[in-house]
Amino acid sequence: MIKLVIFDWDGTLYNSIDRICDAMLQAGNSAGAATKTHDDVKNIIGLSLDIAVRTVWPEEPDDVIADIVEQYKTFYVASDQTPPQQYDGVAEFIDWLYAKEIGMAVATGKSRRGLDRVMALTNTKRLFLTSRCADETRSKPDPTMIQEILDELSVQPSEAIVVGDTEYDLDMAAQAGVRSIGVDYGAHEASRLKRHNPLAIVSNLVDLKNQLQW
């Protein structure tokens, strides 16, 4: 029996991928770093900010990396003043889980400040029992984020499912002993998600209502 669904945020519930990529590329340009592409940044969505920046710009010295991190925060906040677009099927699936009294949580690469801001913009904080952010614990794909959520809510790994759009989400779930679902409309293509043996890969979360034994 599933008692808890742990969602990633960016690229899973809300389409904030372009905002993230644009802000990161602006930050790199402002810091005078080497030119990178949208795909370079898209690849690291889900990681904590410092690890993500270092992954995109491995050739840059630490002071430039630090500058990019700070510049990114400024550019992203400037672009994040209106609610991001929710993916098709998300509202219906969340309402369905809520009606069935299945708990929901968030495990995200966002900062706490960033998640709180976007939850306020979208009026969604009330839906989730708890959340973990990348600046509060270890970055994905380390399983600590999931383990902390399970411990807090007294849920066993066998009673939870992780839903995410990147291999970092699914790898994190596997390391925590939790089953996972991949969505193919986010940052990583289905071929990357399949490496971590999710129960399913879907194009609309509504499909899960009939695919899983709830």
Are the C-beta atoms of 33 and 64 separated by less than 8 Å?
A: yes
Average pLDDT of the segment spanning 91-99: 93
Phi, then psi, of 146 in degrees rounded to 5 = -70, -45
Please state whether the predicted TM-score (pTM) of the whole model is above 0.85.
yes
Q: pLDDT tens-digit profile of 7-57?
A: 999 999 999 999 999 999 999 999 999 999 999 999 999 899 999 999 999
Q: pLDDT tens-digit profile of 66-89?
A: 999 999 999 998 887 788 899 999
Domains contained in the chain, CATH given: 4-14+87-211 (3.40.50.1000), 17-79 (1.10.150)
Which two tokens mark 67?
């500058």
Residues forming a β-bridge with 106: 7, 131
CA distance 190 to 52: 21
Short-list 169, 137, 157, CA closest to 7? 169
